[in-house]
Amino acid sequence: MLSQHAINIIKSTVPVLEIHGTTITKRFYEMLFTSHPELLNIFNHANQKQGKQQTALANAVYAAALHIDRLEAILPVVKQISHKHRSLGVKPEHYPIVGQHLLAAIQEVLGDAATPEILQAWAEAYGIIADAFIGVEADMYHQTETQKGGWSDFKRFRIARKVKESDVITSFYLMPEDGAPLPTFEPGQYISIKLEIPGDTYTHIRQYSLSDAPGKPYYRISVKREDPMADRPEGKVSMFLHQGTKEGDAVLLSAPAGDFTLDQQDSRPVVLISGGVGLTPMVSMLQTLTATNPERQVTFIHAAQNGQHHAFKGSIEELAIQHPALNVYWCYDKPTASDRAENTFHREGYMTLDWLQSVVPTSAASFYFCGPVPFMKTINNALREWGIPEEDRRFEFFGPAGSL
């Protein structure tokens, strides 16, 4: 337990962290990877280059300081991050290394303002928070390894099939090399895939949502090819998966993880809203709902640039024919002439609150949404304006957690 004196000291640093948090975390990662380059085998290099990881960590440190007197308030965040840590292979021995370099970064960035008293208080607080992570993750590792078909860390799989779903999305059907049965998962969860890309010193790990229902003899992920754009380089892992792998190749997978999951005990109508490749966890949820609870009212809404970028369109429309309780709607912001001629979409442009209210039968529903951050901000703001309670607005970030 932290003393009240230590709590007061840490809370006094909140305004400083609000201003200098990202500078501290940027310096932290520089120091960490200089001293321990082997950790580059765990971290997402692209998120480092784009500053996403530094911002996510700064937000986490800020939240810890803000709620240091009631750490139970950040327990949901601890569990969410712990899912990612477990899927990446983060272990207890990594925490002292992180703590050492985080305190060193605080001291370097803040200079004389980081007094010995402040550093000591933060060292004590970090120890308590690290212990919380280690305890939660130990339970997750145990549950993952001891479940039916489970395993620890990474396991060899084969790419059984590659299926092109759209001009930019390809599905990978992954089966265990040893032929063992697969553990089940919750619709909405993800796996981590570890790859060695020729010419690169370090391995790459990426997390992809499972895009099929549980209970199959394979895991399916559906990956968008991240082509280079003016504001970002190409996605190294997605490009390699699309262009550098073939059926029969081996990859390493961690067991399913994640807390963005379908509440299957809820009998209320459910609304699944996605943008771009954010539809992958929604497809898993949809297939599960139609298979296990076909009477439950489901509204499935997806936004894509156009029909060429739209994955799973045909299979979802087929589900809608088979299940009267399912209604589907497509939004295209850049429809092609063919899309218009064939009348294959329901709205041109972006989703608005008025339009959502016109197609969603009731606000007394559970809403799940996923996609690019600007898209999710728009949906979250619309649902909040509609009066949808926070607990009924559930969403998933692809990559480090951000803020809506």
**Bridge partner list, 221:** 172, 210
- For the four alpha carbons of 144, 145, 150 and 153, in that order, the dihedral sign comes to positive
* CA 371 to each of CA 52, 92, 273: distance values in angstroms, whole numbers, following the listed order: 16, 32, 9
**Residues 386, 353 contacting (CB under 8 angstroms):** yes
The rounded distance, in Å, linking the Cα atoms of 313 and 225 is 18
The rounded distance, in Å, linking the Cα atoms of 198 and 200 is 6
Burial of residue 30 (number of CB atoms within 10 Å: 0-12, 13-18, 19+): middle
**Residues 218, 179 contacting (CB under 8 angstroms):** no
Residues flagged as binding site: 85, 190, 206-209, 276-281, 397-400
* Cα 212-215-218 angle, rounded to 5 deg: 60
The length of the chain is: 404
93 is catalytic: no
Residues flagged as binding site for FAD: 190, 206-209, 397-400
**From 62, 95, 219, 329, active-site residue:** 95
* CA 34 to each of CA 38, 111, 356, 370: distance values in angstroms, whole numbers, following the listed order: 9, 21, 49, 35
Residues flagged as binding site for NADP(+): 276-281
Residues flagged as binding site for heme b: 85
329 is catalytic: no
**From 29, 137, 226, 396, active-site residue:** 137
Catalytic residue set? 95, 137
